[in-house]
Amino acid sequence: MSAHDNYQTPLASRYASSEMRELFSARKRGSTWRQLWLWLAEAEKELGLSISDEAIKQMKAHVLITDDDLEIARKEESKRRHDVMGHVHAFGQVAPAAAGIIHWGATSCYVTDNADLIFLRDGLDLLLPKLATVIHRLSRFALQYKDMPTLGYTHYQPAQCITVGRRASQWVQDLMMDLEDIEAVRAALRFRGAQGTTGTQASFMEIFHNDGAKIDELNEILCKKAGFDRCYSISTQTYTRKVDLRVANALAAFGATVQKIGSDIRHLASQKEMEEPFEKDQIGSSAMAYKRNPMRSERICGLGRHLSNLNKDCSDTFAAQWFERTLDDSAIRRIDIPHLFLTADAILITLDNVASGLVVYPARVHSRLMEELPFMATENMIMKMVSMGASRQEAHEEIRVLSHQASDVVKKEGGRNDLIERVKKTKYFEPIWAEIDGMLDPKNFIGRSPEQVERYCGDGGEVQHALAKYKKYIDVAKAAELTV
């Protein structure tokens, strides 16, 4: 049977990176379990338990699980209805000298949960540099366009001007918050270690003849081998599923952020002010050949929607754990944990591609702005008239009448905004006629936008400070290429 005859998640077959797919592969999981059993045996031997050198040697020789090993484990699981014991027996077949001591004192969660903590850690370590690179690219974009006035929107209605770069810096700041959150959950991760069936270490107390100091030393050795600073102080049969929820919350928040960014880009593309990269042979629509659809940003929004909802599963799973553990966490975590990371990874690849090739159309940005700027300039006209001795209320009423007339031309007749021409023809405003054109310079309406962008994204700013630890990765990172 061909692989094409079996369903494969698009996260793996279309979107995520090879390194993230490998991290959550069956071979990686099986090999990590074997590595954990080897570390446990080495530590137990170091602390005086009777484990032969040959047993250790054979285990070391077969840490990397083979296709044949995986098939043996599958058959054993089918017979025993227990995945961990299936792998114990498969490992024992290729390391017969160790068959009697594999898993000594441990519970299934010694391998399943410690492996998952390793995958959480390594998955976050793959995501963080990619996120930092996206932030870097968007901050460079923000700096490049920090001075270019553009129409701001509130309620999705034209509002006071900002700049193209200032809007991008808003995206950057949201992503910076995600970086902080993901770094925080990464730093807080600990190991489960060897804790026994309900976390009391009772089985290890039996093995080490009630010597608690040796159990502490055992876990110190395991932590060192696995690359963790320490174990969680309290475990039940599992590490608390609150850990999964904390990681999921950080990644789900990132999923919400990218939906916001992708939606902004899609709206700007509709207005023809900005576009994501569009390749020479790319087809926007099978029917409408002229179309340049923002498919990358749409993909980002779709994947972000999936990611931003996965924390609900993790929340429910944590809440549903009765006492020291129930197995209803197992099947759903097999799905959710890989999906969290594959989805976040796929988003970052696509967002990197977009951030590396955003196209701005200055003439269109200016044209769109000038359609609305006359309305915004009226407040300045009123203030100028008052400074020359006019009544503020009279000036306001004159502007109100002219503005509504110009608005009717745009809305009812499909014409252009002719408010400025009307003001220049109205005798009441003759004192400021000579100054009106100067009032229409868009840069008069952008406030401190350039300065804000420079201070935040530029040299010595918050963004550069936060990204300093990722500099080596960013310096060699190439723009992500999409295969679909």
Active site residues: 155, 285
Where do we find the tokens 């509002």? 159
Q: Nearest 5°: phi and psi at 274? A: -150, 145
In 189-241, which residue ranges form alpha helices assigned H by DSSP?
202-207, 212-226
CB atoms within 10 A of CB 156: 7
What are the tokens at 425?
């023809």
Question: How far apart (Å, rounded) are the C-alpha atoms in residues 118 and 105?
Answer: 21
The contacts of residue 162 (CB under 8 Å, 6+ apart) are: 149, 150, 152, 446, 447, 449
At a CB cut-off of 8 Å and minimum separation 6, what does 366 contact? Answer: 149, 442
For residues 291 and 14, give the distance between their C-alpha atoms in angstroms, rounded to a whole number: 23
Query: Which residues sit opposite 232 in a β-bridge?
Result: none
Contacts of 11 (CB under 8 A, 6+ apart): 338, 339, 342, 343, 346
Q: Where are the beta strands (DSSP E) in 376-447?
A: none
Positive or negative: CA dihedral 4, 335, 103, 247: positive
What DSSP string runs through 284-330? S-SS-TT----HHHHHHHHHHHHHHHHHHHHHHHHHT--TT--GGGH
DSSP 477: P
Tokens of 383: 């203030």
Task: Count other Cβ atoms within 10 Å, centred on residue 398.
Answer: 20
Torsion, Cα 250 256 259 260, to 10 degrees, reads -110
